[in-house]
Chains A and B, each alone.
Chain A
């Protein structure tokens, strides 16, 4: 690992190019008329298993805040959390039907509608099949493939909660999603993941509403974070500002510290952002089309002003004392969506008790991990 860490040493040309891209934005202590929603998801994957069947629980919550002169952010009204139980037997037909039905319940739209309305297939470009073909090419994991199902179900839950939250955010508001705008299968010809379509549908719907959808990741994935910090110190240190800086990662422009990684993702513009020294370098992904419509200006200087305004807003929503440096609406949504271990156990017990009352056999409910000593 030590040797790997030294690989991040940069050549002089790269250092200079990075230095030129480092910009600052203002520490923002008040913002007027800002509405910002945060979304996060969780679940229990699986919540329980019975014979060859599995039940997965997906949860997601959105919290909408208005900027407020007295309390910083104020939540005027609540949004119902999303809770979805997905029953998946190993039988292929039943499993696929159930999983797609679950996707539809969460998204509130038919699978075909999501695929057809999203711009995901456009990002695939010439590789894309028709919408019908895309639906047929959706990857639907086996019932026992908890790892992949967890990613799909949780992502669909989060994105669905995001879609629902759009109605509570006015034009020029912000929608903050936990994670990235990555599209893992965008380069594949046939296969795709449903939540990729949904992710891009969220971008489409947000654009229509004039809302900035921003994905926030706590892990920037940099291979040489310490080197970057040195460069920031070199450029901004004279002013004592080692925070409130950013680097824009535009499509098609390589960034030496992210070599080999698809950053920004297809259809996105990314930012590496340091809001405060107590939190890691964050990565913000925004829809490229929205960026071109709302952020990109006639001149680089004007674009910089818009970027500073946007990042100032994101800085402001990270000034809650409970999550200083990180956007509080996402933290609030996380707190509401996440399930504690005790809650998972209690829910599992209640489900099994109810099932047994309905005539099912308690002995067939099992926790494979616990049985094999992996609990």
Chain B
């Protein structure tokens, strides 16, 4: 569409630009049903053909000539016989104030529009056109103008929001690689976070389904605290969740996109099909994992690390068994109270107290052998899978620990891969990444390392290509979802280090991103917040949280501060460092989306 085409599509003029500065625009418009957040386009031919995109952040009713509206209201109230004459001239007007999101400039050679940040202003007294969500032609015009900002070919998250209604012709997406960076999803209870996650999971599924041989897949490890992502509303007659997407696949697609599993739960659901009981071994744990999820003193951490160095993968079992007589033989001595405190802290891992961590003491018989789904989970994530983890039967610490171990192990594998030039390098680096160096007498997580090395050699971990280690950027983008993020990402918990702090700082180098889901922005460690590249901010609970959301956003949310107060269910502000401007979006109802019903309105 060229300038004239867009101008024609916009229809009747809505208002005229009045005062304008780079900070704020004022538009005088005819009396109409306007809403905060409504979008307007201002055609301008001062310089190259441009359309400015204006978004209203506040408005007021004004009179054309009557200066004191208060006097009129007073008269209406106190003079019961008064009236308001019906004039031909437009006496009742509205004055809109807001900001320029930016402008789209037409490039005649390619007949395309390129969007720019708002470094310029529209010309004096520019005509202003309302973006009418009910008009398909207007939606199409907006889509063309904002094409470089909408990211419609990425992972779909919603439709561009114009006031209270979405523009069905203007889908908004985030690039797949955004999941290898860090994402924040913030919103109070009931604002639509779960529905947003469902839409995102569906988009990941579709991305992997359409990804060709050379294009990157996306993996997501999605914690599901309410066990809703698998079945969604199928039990009540609504749409099925990821299970529905899986059921719709052909056997070949299922082999390529789902096998060996997509759903993990602490419930006994057997090992058949693509839904599994999840369990990890005590042998998979390191002191760092525990420090990441619960409170430890400095002394306790030092003891735990020394004990792990001594006993490697059996350190938890020996601690729980009280086998601490040799503690301190090769190093510092610890007070009995310190040792007892660490024992208490790992107590939730004792047999019978946990549904997901299995015992590990191979010397005591087959029953105590290594039993863990962790290697399979890691293989799945490295092959482009969408894994849902039902945590309803897990304790809070178990859930956080599962998350931590998976993230830490994947992070270690990717680091090893990046550090390797040959297969031998890779296998050695993997062992070192899991603290297993038999030549140096370090046991570390030997069994887990053995399993992972075996999977590299078998090809289940697709790290070798043509006899050499595969560059990490040829692997799927992996995203680990952290639910109730403040519980483990608060500054107090992260005082002595956290695997999530490491991933937040370095994860994107290895293609691993975090998605932090929280009702509160303010409780999350600032160091982690500054590493977020994409935020989806839904309705927040109070002014403090809104302020923090604005402060930490990856794109300027200054003009959205007021709108954050009035966001409805499923409405969000998408800010990302991959785009020039923040965008308001309406996340569609997942049920409608899967039924092919356009819920954009």
Contacts and interface: CB of A to CB of B under 8 A. Distances in A.
- A pairs with B: yes
B84 A71 contact: yes
Interface stretch (B46-54, B74-82, B519-527): B74-82
Interface stretch (B85-93, B224-232, B583-591): B85-93
A319 B82 CA distance: 5
A68 B399 CA distance: 72
B85 A324 contact: no
B23 to A, nearest CB: 21
Interface stretch (A10-18, A73-81, A152-160, A265-273): A73-81
A324 B89 contact: no
Interface residues of A, number: 22
A350 to B, nearest CB: 13
B65 interface: yes
Which of A71, A324, A328 has most B Cβ within 10 Å? A324
B88 A322 contact: no
B565 interface: no
A321 B84 contact: yes
A321 B82 contact: yes
A73 B84 CA distance: 8
A125 to B, nearest CB: 42
A294 interface: no
A109 B581 CA distance: 63
Nearest to B66: A322
Nearest to B77: A321
A328 B64 CA distance: 15
A348 interface: no
B87 A75 contact: yes
A321 B75 contact: yes
A210 interface: no
Interface residues of B, number: 19
A255 interface: no
B89 A336 contact: yes
A328 B76 CA distance: 14
B72 to A, nearest CB: 5
A232 interface: no
A332 interface: yes
Interface string B66-108: 1000001101100101111111110100000000000000000
Which of B63, B66, B82 has most A Cβ within 10 Å? B82
Given A324-B75, A335-B64, A335-B65, A319 B89 contact: no
A110 B64 CA distance: 37
B285 to A, nearest CB: 74
B85 A65 contact: yes
Nearest to B63: A322
Given A321-B76, A322-B72, A72 B64 contact: no
A321 B87 contact: no
Contacts of B66: 322, 335
Contacts of B79: 319, 321, 324
A65 B79 CA distance: 21
A220 B8 CA distance: 56
A27 interface: yes
A75 B83 contact: no
A68 B64 CA distance: 22
B86 A29 contact: no
A68 B86 contact: yes
A320 interface: yes
Contacts of B91: 322
A199 to B, nearest CB: 27
Interface of A: 27, 29, 63, 65, 68, 71-75, 77-78, 319-322, 324, 328, 332, 335-336, 338
Interface of B: 63-66, 72-73, 75-76, 79, 81-89, 91
Closest 8 CB pairs of A and B: A72-B83, A335-B65, A73-B85, A71-B86, A29-B81, A321-B75, A74-B86, A324-B75
5 contacts: A71-B85, A75-B85, A75-B87, A77-B88, A324-B75
